[in-house]
Structure 1
Amino acid sequence: MAEQIIWYLEMRDPKAHHARAMPETLGVVECEIPQFELNRFLYRLVGTQWQWSEMLEGDQNEWRAMVESDAHRTFVAYYRGAVAGYYELYRPDGVNVEILYFGLVETFIGMGFGAGLLSHAIDQAWRWPGTDRVWLHTCSLDHPAALENYQKRGFEIYHEEVAPC
């Protein structure tokens, strides 16, 4: 059976963030009006290449409730009018913000957008009033530069596990 490594990373102080400027050609907009179908679309658009499927297989009503809750925020990155990537922030406990999903559309990988978009996500997480900690997880099935990007922005690994693919 194939295995993957899952890394859990956190940032406990906004001063730990080693921000990278976002390219001027990349615009990011928050979806202030939740649209569950938009989140499904973005999840597929970005996640298919990385074998994201768990949300598509689970209870769609639970997923919809999460997306439509006040604890959830969605941001979409655009390049020349096209969706270039997105991220979701989730803070169900009011203090710990998870960068729930983060990624670029395959066409835009390698254009220098990843570090800047991640910095935008981190900034938005820390600007959410009441945030004490920002965290995320990634795995060995993700883009080869993902873990390094997270660490370069200031995240530290706090847990690692091996799981079946």
Structure 2
Amino acid sequence: MLSDGFHDVPDGKLAMVVTHLEMRAAPPLRDVSLPDGVTLRKVTPTLEWYRDIFNRVGAHDWLWFSRLQMSDAKLNAILTNPDMAYYTLSKDGQDEALLELDFRQAGECELAYFGLTSKLIGAGAGRYLMNQAITAAWSRDITRFHLHTCTIDSPQAVAFYIRSGFTPYRRQIEVADDPRLTGMLGRDAGPHVPIID
């Protein structure tokens, strides 16, 4: 158990406050239209597609790195699992969003990854995609839809999830190697998080 006060984080590490959120029933959804020229599609992901969209949505701007650490075999086992579902939003012929739903735990769905590239942020596409996530999750026989986000992600994330019907229920501290110092990501990634090496 952590005591009150400041705690040093070793050089080369990131420390993140992780907020866990859940919903126990499908909330009412307000109707939201897709922005002009944007289409939703369900994806059967390949390694190449997934690594590309994962990088463009989250790795550079928000330091998403957990899936980048996985071997092709381990990641492919997740991508091909029938209890996983993937969606994207496309604009001008290019996919610009990642929605990953994980139904591997009986009776539950985890919103494993959710995000948009900068081409769609601010256009209303995020609200539309979240409505699709909620609808798809509760179309299955579940009693709980949950996710977690952290302080190196978008500062709007927690408020967006709460407005979407999720309730915070747990907070943790996660410490991990800074992926910009391991060479997994470039040093220009996550400019909102200073590098301390």
1:150 match = 161
> Structure 1's 17 and 51: CA in aligned 2 closer, same or farther, altered over 3 A?
farther
**Alignment partner for residue 69 of structure 1, among 81, 85, 108?**
81
Deviates more, 1:132-141 or 1:105-114: 105-114
CA drift at 1:17: 4.6
Question: In structure 1, what residue type is equivalent to 2:164?
Answer: R
- Quick check: which has more Rg, 1 or 2? 2
Look up the SS of the partner of 2:155 in the other structure: coil
1:60 match = 72
CA drift at 1:82: 2.9
**Alignment partner for residue 136 of structure 1, among 132, 138, 147?**
147
Question: In structure 2, what residue type is equivalent to 1:36?
Answer: L
Over the matched positions of the two proteins, sequence identity in percent amounts to: 26
> Structure 1's 46 and 57: CA in aligned 2 closer, same or farther, altered over 3 A?
same
Structure 2 stretches lacking a partner, 5+ long:
1-8, 177-197
Structure 1 stretches lacking a partner, 5+ long:
none
CA drift at 1:35: 2.0
Look up the SS of the partner of 1:78 in the other structure: strand
> Structure 1's 17 and 144: CA in aligned 2 closer, same or farther, altered over 3 A?
farther
Asked if 2 retains the 8 angstrom alpha-carbon contact of 1:4 and 1:162, the reply is yes
2:189 match = none
> Structure 1's 19 and 159: CA in aligned 2 closer, same or farther, altered over 3 A?
farther
If the length of structure 1 is used for normalisation, what is the TM-score?
0.89
Look up the SS of the partner of 1:142 in the other structure: coil
Look up the SS of the partner of 1:13 in the other structure: coil
Q: Does 1:5 align with 2:35?
A: no
Give the count of matched residue pairs. Answer: 162
What is the root-mean-square deviation in Å for CA atoms of aligned residues? 1.8
If the length of structure 2 is used for normalisation, what is the TM-score?
0.75
Residue by residue, what CA displacement relative to the aligned partner does 1:115-144 show, whole Å, maximum 9, x if unpaired? 2211111111111x2222111111111111
The separation in 1 between residues aligned to 2:85 and 2:160, in whole angstroms, is 22
CA drift at 1:81: 2.8
The separation in 2 between residues aligned to 1:37 and 1:124, in whole angstroms, is 25
- Following TM superposition, the consecutive aligned residue runs of length 4 or more in structure 1 with deviations greater than 4 angstroms are 17-20
